Amino acid sequence: MKKLMYDYLINYLPPIEIARLRLEMNQPLKYKGLLINPARISSDILFAEFKSLTKDETNPNFFTYIKNEDTPGRNILHEAGAYYILDRSSMLISHFLEPLKNELVLDMCAAPGGKTISYALKNPQALIVANDFSTKRASELSKNIERMGLANVIVTNFDPNYFLKDFIGYFDKIILDAPCSGTGMFRKESKMEEDWSYEKTLRLLPLQDKLLDIAYRLLSPGGVISYSTCSFLHEEDEERVQKVINDHNDLHLVKLKMSEGFYEGTLEGTIHIFPHLYQGEGHFLAQLVKEGTPSSLEIDKKIGTFDSSLNLYTFEYQNEKYGLPFIVNSLINLPALRMGLKITNRTKYAKCPWDHALSHYLNSIKSIKLTKKEALAYLNGEELTSSIDIEDGYYLVSYNTINLGYVNKKGKRLKNCYPKGLRIKV
């Protein structure tokens, strides 16, 4: 008879807790979460739109909602980048990281983007390299960053080994949400439980060790690694953390602050998230700090021009204009899918001279206000009509004070400039 995942928890979780966990994992998911972009939307607008919202006690920009009562994922505001759908447990990864000014952050396995987005919103003065090895997943990551209009994120598509060529001891923080067996997500993805085996889990351990070792080598003195998995198993969690500590005597565990609903791991200060104790999916969290004093960051002020209207430094990259909160020459020479805020669109068949992402940074007061019906049509890529008495040319369009993108007005026609890659029938 095939052993179940729960059979492997008996060595470190009391039988009563295993029984409660198993019962909860067999229940349908009731609550989901979202993280708002406070620069784009107020909580008042959100509460008017969704009736089951509850503000989270640990993060003023995070809200939970009842899955069967509200559908924020299929809403105009979601497509406009006003918020990101994110599990409450995943939000904790950024919650435990302390922001620093002008810090360099690497999210090693970033897709689909929740960890990067949550920390980018928490610390606009950080410059984050969001990387994913999978080309398909990196493309989806880039779309999510574009939709959210984040200027402090560089999106790349490399094997993590790539960074070892030029970036050893470089990053102040490294986020590593490691590929794992996904046992904490069995309720969310039932097929994962059907396909799971302990033998498959063991085959992932060398990869987790390799990624942790790369993270250590890329980390600057005094820097922090945030290690997480969506697994309940100690083999992927505490044992991997203990191994990297044993391998590097200048790496030490940070004791994370315990709160209601957290379950302390067998390594003091590490946290397990169990769905029967906490309103979120299964996760493991640990932080590691490297001994030493951080070296001062050399910001290249010779490259780019400060744009006070955007509060960003703008520069040329691959024949386009981009903006970042600060410029580091070694990073803007990376081959990237997205290099911060893309400002221009100089491609041959561009429908608009400005990139869609720029619309998030412009004031909606001068925009053409759309009704809900018009906004839905716009997001679907449809052409609109308007009798508004203004000159022909390019204009912002907005819904509920939030910019959606651009149109090109020609007479009564409003030609749609919304990117094809983002279009969706809401």
pLDDT in tens, 57-99: 888 899 999 999 999 998 999 999 999 999 999 999 999 999 9
Tell me whether the omega of the peptide bond preceding residue 60 falls within 30 degrees of 0, making it cis. Answer: no
The pLDDT value recorded for residue 135 is 97
What integer best gives the mean pLDDT of the chain? 93
User: What's the whole-number mean pLDDT along residues 311-327?
Assistant: 94
Q: Pairing mode, if any, of strands 271-273 and 262-264?
A: antiparallel
pLDDT in tens, 159-201: 999 999 999 999 999 999 999 999 999 987 778 888 899 999 9
Q: Does residue 422 have a pLDDT over 90?
A: no
pLDDT in tens, 198-217: 999 999 999 999 999 999 99
Q: Is 180 a catalytic residue?
A: no
User: What's the whole-number mean pLDDT along residues 38-61?
Assistant: 91
Burial category of 111 from C-beta neighbours within 10 Å (exposed 0-12, middle 13-18, buried 19 and up): buried
User: What's the whole-number mean pLDDT along residues 386-411?
Assistant: 93
Q: How confident is the model at residue 141 (pLDDT cuts 50, 70, 90)?
A: very high
The pLDDT value recorded for residue 294 is 79
Burial category of 333 from C-beta neighbours within 10 Å (exposed 0-12, middle 13-18, buried 19 and up): exposed
Q: Which residues pair with 290 in a beta bridge?
A: 251
Q: Does residue 287 have a pLDDT over 80?
A: yes
The pLDDT value recorded for residue 388 is 87
What's the CATH class of domain 362-426?
alpha beta
Q: How far is CA 422 from CA 76, 80, 120, 146, in A?
A: 12, 10, 21, 9
Q: Does residue 317 have a pLDDT over 90?
A: yes
**Domain 5-290 falls under CATH 1.25.40.10:** no
Strand segments (E) across 230-282 = 251-254, 262-264, 271-273
The pLDDT value recorded for residue 301 is 67
For the record, the structure tokens of 133 come out as 């090895």
The pLDDT value recorded for residue 179 is 96
User: What's the whole-number mean pLDDT along residues 134-157?
Assistant: 95
Could you tell me the pTM of the whole model? Answer: 0.95
**What whole-number distance in Å separates Cα of residue 73 and Cα of residue 68?**
12
**What whole-number distance in Å separates Cα of residue 406 and Cα of residue 345?**
12
pLDDT in tens, 224-267: 999 999 999 999 999 999 999 999 999 999 999 999 999 999 99
Q: Does residue 1 have a pLDDT over 70?
A: no
Task: Identify the weakest region by mean pLDDT among 112-121, 139-148, 287-296, 334-343.
Answer: 287-296
The pLDDT value recorded for residue 365 is 77
Domain ranges of the chain: 5-290, 362-426
Shared fold status for 5-290 and 362-426: no
**What whole-number distance in Å separates Cα of residue 278 and Cα of residue 285?**
14
Q: Does residue 409 have a pLDDT over 80?
A: yes
The pLDDT value recorded for residue 190 is 74
Q: Which of 109, 180, 230, 417 is catalytic?
A: 230
